[in-house]
Structure 1
Amino acid sequence: MINTDTIVALATPSGAGAIAIIRLSGKDAITIADAHFKSVSGKKLFKQPTHTIHLGHIVDGERTLDEVLVSVFKDPNSYTGENVVEISCHGSNYIQQEIIQLYLRNGCRMASAGEFTLRAFLNGKLDLSQAEAVADLIASDNEASHQIAMQQMRGGFSTEIAKLREELLNFASLIELELDFAEEDVEFADRTQFKDLIDRITLVLKRLIDSFAVGNVIKNGIPVAIVGEPNVGKSTLLNALLNEDRAIVSDIAGTTRDTIEDEISVGGIGFRFIDTAGIRETKDVVESIGIKKTFEKIDQAQVVIYLFDADKFKDQSNQFKVELEKIKNKYPQKPLIALANKVDKIQEDQVEIIQKEIPEIQLMSAKQGKGVEELKDTLLSFVNTGALKNNDTIITNTRHYDSLLKALEEVSKVKDGLETGLSGDLLAIDIRQALYHFGEITGEISSDDLLGNIFANFCIGK
């Protein structure tokens, strides 16, 4: 699995820019880079100390490709644990490709997706959960997901798992030792202390497993469906939330004939708002398709906003309340926000009637931006961000979640075995399985297929 050849790739996004960074890693990275680099000082890269930067030119024979800065990192003090060179060149697509092709012709291989981070893992610079956090950090698009990825990349989660695994491993060793002295009926592992450890591990595992519900929505964003009759202001609300004219707004019912999606960050949490076609009886074929998609989007959403026209409540109050009950009954597990829009068009006594008949109602004028902040506060209240504020460990990775569930199942078997006086050899089997699932998370237990699946999702150059 471990390749020692020298790899090269563009480490910055493809396309033209002011600066691009080309990364080389491998035993011969510095020597290969040096063969086509002329330092302005005349120094050779392989003679320079680690973590130094050098100004010069990349040359291909007599042809100068670009003036560059070259950073040198010598093993083991580099990201990959190997010799690493990073070339900061000008961001022309032509220059980038010329330099990469030059090194491909002269001793380098094109890096595969995530291969730099894979080498960091294989060389012990990162454990597997930290390596996965690198991809999450790159993909983070709001404050909360960034904070979680940073915590995991620094080893917060893996450190906690490693401590539990070490303690469990110590007791496992004592249990295994007892098996060697089975005929003498000796107990090396204190069963009371072991039970206390199992109880503590169980609590930690349950806490981590429970955190996945929060972590998953923080990582992927919370889909929110905006539904209601045509022309009640759904598109105006979406524009007010996004603070831009994302959706087409008109007085013609049925203007929105397809779903429109966009995402904003509220309190560091990503919310993906889905403006749907209005729900009504229609003979328009295109609009009917849009209404069908509306119900599909409600199925996919985690929060539903039901919007109605406050100006029409007096004449259509029963219809609005029936629609609300339909959504509540069909989706009892989904948080539902009832919004009365266009309150700027009605009198105070009408407002009081609406609030009396629908106590949970929130009032809004999307056109004037009134009630938008209150709506954001309500949305944020559906997410438990206390763990973020306390800097607790939060699980966002489905693979980790699955391994934690399996580890908890095995630990529960160990606990039952202790309570029923199960023999040491049977206890040892369940302990080994629990240790196996702990090791899956940090990478102490891994396979080529598992690593291939994980790192295939990385970008080239990382």
Structure 2
Amino acid sequence: MALPLPPALSDTIVALSTPPGAGAIAMLRLSGPEAISLTDAVFAGKRLHAQPSHTLHFGTIRDGERILDEVVVSLFRGPHSYTREDVVEISCHGSDYIVQQLLALLTRHGARLAEAGEFTKRAFLHGAFDLAQAEAVADLIAADSALSHQVAMQQMRGGFSQELRELRGQLVKFAALLELELDFGEEDVEFADRTGLVALLQEIQTLVRRLLRSFELGNVIKNGVTTVIAGKPNAGKSTLLNALLNEERAIVSAIAGTTRDLIEDEVSIEGIRFRFVDTAGLRDTTDVVESIGVERTKKRVAQAAMLLYLFDITSTTPAEVQAEIEALNPGRQIPMLAVGNKRDVASDLEIAAFEPLPDTVLIAASRGDGLPDLQQALLRRVRGEGLDQLGSATIVTNLRHAQSLEKTNSALDSVLRGLAAGVGTELLAADLRHALAALGEITGEISSDDLLTSIFTQFCIGK
């Protein structure tokens, strides 16, 4: 259902919807009640007001007698447009000068420069889609891997929203019965079956918790995994980084302490983005610059989402490796893998000593041996048990959604505790309202101007 439009959103707005900077083509988008007539005033070609929707028209944009550019105008009449308003898109040559001249001309004729995300905000307010779907539009634009694209597309097409609507619809039915009991409070009647309510709440809570568990993977899919490669000097950290990236990104040398600063780059492994960070070798040193690098390594490890502790199989014992890991990552609070390097020059006895250790992969970074095993081990640690197959499962990628689901789960806990304790209908109804409100925040059924402003200002101007 469309929401009432604030007065400012009844203006006709205009913005550049392609990236700024010189290019072959640029596209300006207008939306609002005067989008067609305003364009007609500067367009020399067919009269747009007489043309049908979803048509293209060639002509020129003129400022008086002066021709600014030859353009193609796309015409979309509301409600059959992205914003559900009249929309005109002007494709012109991609000169910065031309774009600025056109924007200035259109604003002089009555258009207002759009705010960040205002086109999508209007689409939401006109009921084209809900808030979760609107946020997925931004995620789709930012998608840089197959998985992030897949998840954003599923959410934009309403998969997540549909699941939430079904959950909320079931709660609404029971909430309505509880509210009915309050209306007949003096007659001491129960319209809502308490046993059925407990079963329903438990079922809904199971689904909510599954969605919450999926956020760990969803956050990884959306934002990537910062993975720090740490270890002693000459363990092969830079060689491993180069092998993972399949390029000579870091300098490799037999001289200990070559890497003194952080070197970072990204690679996608089966659709999940990893940001690998090569670090200075961990050792006590009197070299001032190298010691700064060691301190930066320790700080970066503390901020990492994943740690690869690299060690030389030929010069380290299992006990030493465990002690080094404990010193760097006490209690293994940061998810990690121990990676034994130089398997190609190690003896059978040295290899055999490390093979039984859990969360340990043996490789030869200089030759690329064992890299597929390392990549699969990384994916297993990131995806987590039960989340290995995405399929059609809903994945939560948005922190705001996760926070609302946490509030929903907490409110459902309160209702279940209240039912077990036999509390009054009024308290049960209040907790159910909190659960419904938290779910409604995700899709925008319950929203505030501050929330909408916060969300849509994260969009680019032309979207």
| Partner of residue 443, structure 2 | 442
Counterpart in the other structure of 1:398: 399
Distance 2:350 2:421 in 1: 67
Question: Which stretch has the larger CA shift, 210-219 or 24-33?
Answer: 210-219
Paired position in structure 2 for 1:337 = 337
AA in 2 matched with 1:63: R
Matching of residues 254-265 of structure 1 within 5 Å: 254-265=257-268
Q: How far apart, CA to CA, are the structure 2 residues paired with 1:399 and 1:383? A: 21
**How many positions carry a matched residue from both structures?**
455
Deviation at 1:348, TM superposition (A): 4.4
Shift of 1:391: 1.5
TM-score normalised to structure 2 length: 0.93
RMSD (CA atoms): 2.0
Matching residue of 2:380:
381
Q: Contact 1:387 / 1:393 at 8 angstroms: preserved in 2?
A: no
Provide the residue aligned with 2:174 in structure 1: 171
The Cα of 1:167 is off from its aligned counterpart by: 2.1
- Find the residue that maps to 2:344 and give its secondary structure: helix
1:147-186 CA-partner distances (Å, limit 9, x unpaired): 1111111111111111221222222222222222223333
Residue number in structure 2 paired with 1:433: 434
> Paired residue for 1:147?
150
- Equivalent of 2:225, from 217, 222, 240? 222
Tell me if structure 2 keeps the 8 A contact 1:387–1:394: no
Please show how residues 6-405 of structure 1 align to structure 2 within 5 Å. 6-39=12-45, 43-313=46-316, 319-327=320-328, 330-348=330-348, 350-355=350-355, 361-384=360-383, 386=387, 388-405=389-406
Q: 1:144–1:388: 8 Å Cα contact kept in structure 2? A: no
Q: Which amino acid aligns with 2:382?
A: V
Moved more, 46-55 or 333-342: 333-342
For residues 76-98 of structure 1, give each alpha carbon's deviation from its aligned partner in whole angstroms, at most 9, with x where no partner exists: 11111111111111222222222
SS in 2 for 1:389: coil
Task: Assess if the C-alpha contact under 8 Å between 1:214 and 1:384 holds in 2.
Answer: yes
> In the aligned structure 2, how far is the partner of 1:308 from the partner of 1:6?
62
State the Cα distance separating 1:233 from its structure 2 match: 1.7
1:190 is displaced (CA, Å) by 3.0
Assess if the C-alpha contact under 8 Å between 2:298 and 2:328 holds in 1: no
In the TM superposition, what is the alpha-carbon distance from 1:201 to its structure 2 partner? 1.4
How far did residue 354 of structure 1 move?
5.0
Q: Tell me how far apart the structure 1 counterparts of residues 115 and 309 of structure 2 sit (CA, whole Å).
A: 47
| Distance in structure 2 (CA, Å) of the matches to 1:57 and 1:393 | 47
What is the alpha-carbon distance in structure 2 between the residues aligned to residue 437 and residue 352 of structure 1? 54
**Which ranges in structure 2 are unaligned for 5 or more consecutive residues?**
1-5
Alignment partners' CA distance in 2, 1:286 and 1:109: 54
For 1:88-109, what per-residue CA distance to the aligned partner results, in whole angstroms no more than 9, with x for missing partners?
1122222222212211221111
Cα gap change, 1:59 to 1:181, in 2 (>3 Å): same
Code of the aligned partner of 1:405: E
Q: Tell me the amino acid that sits aligned with residue 18 of structure 1.
A: A
Q: What SS is found at the alignment partner of 1:422? A: coil
Q: Residue 255 and residue 28 in structure 1: after superposition, are their counterparts in 2 closer, same or farther (change >3 A)?
A: same
SS of the equivalent of 1:439 reads: helix
Closer, same or farther: CA 174–359 of 1 in aligned 2, 3 Å: closer
How far apart, CA to CA, are the structure 1 residues paired with 2:81 and 2:245? 42
- The two structures have a TM-score, normalised by structure 1, of 0.93
| Helix, strand or coil at the partner of 2:175 | helix
Aligned to 2:3: none
1:456 alignment partner in structure 2 = 457
SS state at 1:383 partner: helix
- Cα distance per residue 1:192-238 (max 9 Å; x no partner): 33333222211111111111122112211111110111222211111
Give CA deviations for 1:388-424 in whole Å, capped at 9, x if unaligned: 5322111111111111111111122222233333322
| Identity %, equivalent residues | 55
The letter of the residue matching 2:344 is D
- TM-superposed CA distance for 1:353, in Å, is 4.9
Shift of 1:317: 6.8
In the aligned structure 2, how far is the partner of 1:140 from the partner of 1:112?
A: 22
Q: Is the Cα–Cα contact under 8 Å of residues 137 and 149 in structure 1 kept in the other structure?
A: yes
Shift of 1:349: 5.1
Q: Which residue of 1 aligns with 2:409?
A: 408
Amino acid at match of 1:182: G
C-alpha contact (below 8 Å) 2:76/2:88 kept by paired residues: yes
* Partners of 2:415 and 2:432 within 8 A in 1: yes
From the superposition, tell whether residues 26 and 312 of structure 1 become closer, same or farther in structure 2 (CA, over 3 Å).
Answer: same
Whole-angstrom CA distance in 2 between matches of 1:387 and 1:248: 35
Q: Which amino acid aligns with 1:7?
A: I
- Post-superposition offset of 1:312: 3.2
Uncovered stretches (5+) of structure 1, i.e. residues with no partner = none
Alignment check: 8 A CA contact 2:241 2:249 kept? yes
